Amino acid sequence: MSNALSVVVDSLPYLLQGSFLTIGIVVSAMLLGLAIGIFMAVGLVYGNRFIKYLLTAYVWIFRGVPVVVLLFLFYYGLFNYLGWNFSAFTAVTIVLGMTTGAYQANIFKGAILSLPRGQFKAAIGLGMSELQAIKSIILPQILRMSIPAWSNEYSIILKDSALAFVIGAPEIMARTQFVASRTYQHLSLYITAGIIYFLLTWAGVIALRKLEKYLRIPGYSHHGNQ
């Protein structure tokens, strides 16, 4: 027991260094997914039939294929075939960003559809272009409305980021496995890694809840405006 505790204490700074890479992956992937999700949601709601079919296929593929398969497919397959020498960090960020983008697309699509249809028509009637109406009227509302769902997506992406170790990204899981393979203190080290992931999840969810309260408009409820 004392040996296990000693290993955990000695390796904790090394493991925590991996948390910075994990946070970088999660934040970068979430922001990439945000851009993809908004673009796709707009296309799914306002696009023509061909665009809707194309985007729906994207959503089905990235929601249906396991993340670890996508990591191998892109990192060792597509990127290598195209001659793109991305680092493990970049590859993981792209794959997780594209994956969460598929989920965020449905989040934003649902938010758009929950808005009164008259808002968009009124904006067009006032002389705005469709792009101006989406940018000025639709987007500010759906971003506020989607923060609770974003908290859930953050938790999912944080857990999925642990798969980054399979392609060599030195994040929390990779560092834990490295130390465990040399000290044989697997149980105590993986418990420590689990605690780190839990704390990162808790901190992120709390931060997003505070952001939701900060951006909340008093007296406004999208459910009541349907």
The CATH number given to 2-215 is 1.10.3720.10
What pLDDT, on a 0 to 100 scale, did the predictor assign at position 63? 92
95 or 133, higher pLDDT: 95
Calculate what percentage of the chain has a pLDDT beyond 70: 95
pLDDT score of 225:
45
- Rounded to whole angstroms, the Cα distance separating 34 from 148 reads 14
pLDDT over 80 at 146, yes or no: yes
Whether 224 has a pLDDT exceeding 50, the answer reads no
The model carries a pTM of 0.86
pLDDT tens digits, 195-215:
999 999 999 999 988 887 877
Q: Looking at residue 226, what is its pLDDT?
A: 40
At 16-60, the pLDDT tens digits run 999 999 999 999 999 999 999 999 999 999 889 999 999 999 999
Question: Distance between alpha carbon 179 and the CA centroid of its chain, in Å?
Answer: 28
Mean pLDDT of 108-123: 84
The residue ranking higher by pLDDT, 137 or 22, is 22
Show the CA angle centred on residue 201, arms to residues 216 and 217, nearest 5°: 0
pLDDT at 87 over 70: yes
Query: What pLDDT is stored for residue 220 in this prediction?
Result: 52
Confidence of residue 157 (pLDDT cuts 50, 70, 90): very high
Neighbours of 45 (CB within 10 A): 18
Distances (CA, A) of 142 to 4, 62, 149, 185, 186: 49, 22, 11, 47, 44
List of E strands, the chain: none
Nearest to residue 71, comparing CAs of 82, 79, 81, 83?
79
